[in-house]
Amino acid sequence: MAYKEHVISTKNEIMTSGFKPPDRPTHSGCDYVDANRLEITQRGVDIISVADGEITRISKDATSGNFIYIKHAGGIESFYCHLRDKSISVKVGDKVKKGQVIAVMGKTGNIISSRTDIPEEYRGTHLHFGVRLNGAWVDPVPYMNGVKTIGGSPATATPPKSETVEAAKPALKPLDEIAREVAILGLWGSGQDRVDRLTAAGYDAKAVQARVNQVYYGK
């Protein structure tokens, strides 16, 4: 999936875990890797600031590993964790620009990976990216998609009703494909946000959830 905003320098993010999925209700952000798996190389993948802001905290703990908080306009903070050791290139108080490199993707902290097709030294390497609005964790996907902006305003102004031209609606995807996007790829958010987005796209949110439960959770 192509995003409007980016948190890795290749601008080629793939989400591996979404915001608070049913099997990880405390997962308060989204996990990303590079689509071409460049993070499993010695050079790695640079992490970049999603928007202009100020570095407010840099630290390390057992869960998040090396992490950075950036304060933005509109009561928004962005959070980047599991950063590679000795890769952080900013300090608290620095003003950073959108797209500025701040660290390298890593695997520090509490990382669990069962994959055996990746060299052990890179196994579990990813970026956990979080967004806080007025102190509360929110789904990063609308910000990555450009539906919301880091700064609190809509990405684009809605034209007056008289000037709005309704675009042709795309064909709906098969139910099984949407269920996979919900359960595995985390592309549709969670909770009421997911229901609203599925409904707006023309899908029956209840039918999609029922299919997810049947196929992925055995309900």
pLDDT digits (tens, 9 = 90+) for 66-99: 999 999 999 999 999 999 999 999 999 999 999 9
Is the per-residue pLDDT at 21 higher than 50? yes
Domain locations in the chain as residue ranges: 13-145, 175-216
pLDDT of residue 152: 45
Higher pLDDT, 163 or 205: 205
Name the burial class of residue 62, with classes exposed (0-12), middle (13-18) and buried (19+) by CB atoms within 10 angstroms of its CB.
Answer: exposed
Choose which CATH entry (2.40.37.20, 3.30.70.100, 1.10.10.10, 2.70.70.10) describes domain 13-145.
2.70.70.10
State mean pLDDT over 3-21: 93
pTM recorded for the entire structure: 0.67
Please identify which residue in the block is written with the tokens 């958010």: 189
Q: Identify which of 146, 138, 30 has the alpha carbon closest to the alpha carbon of residue 75.
A: 138
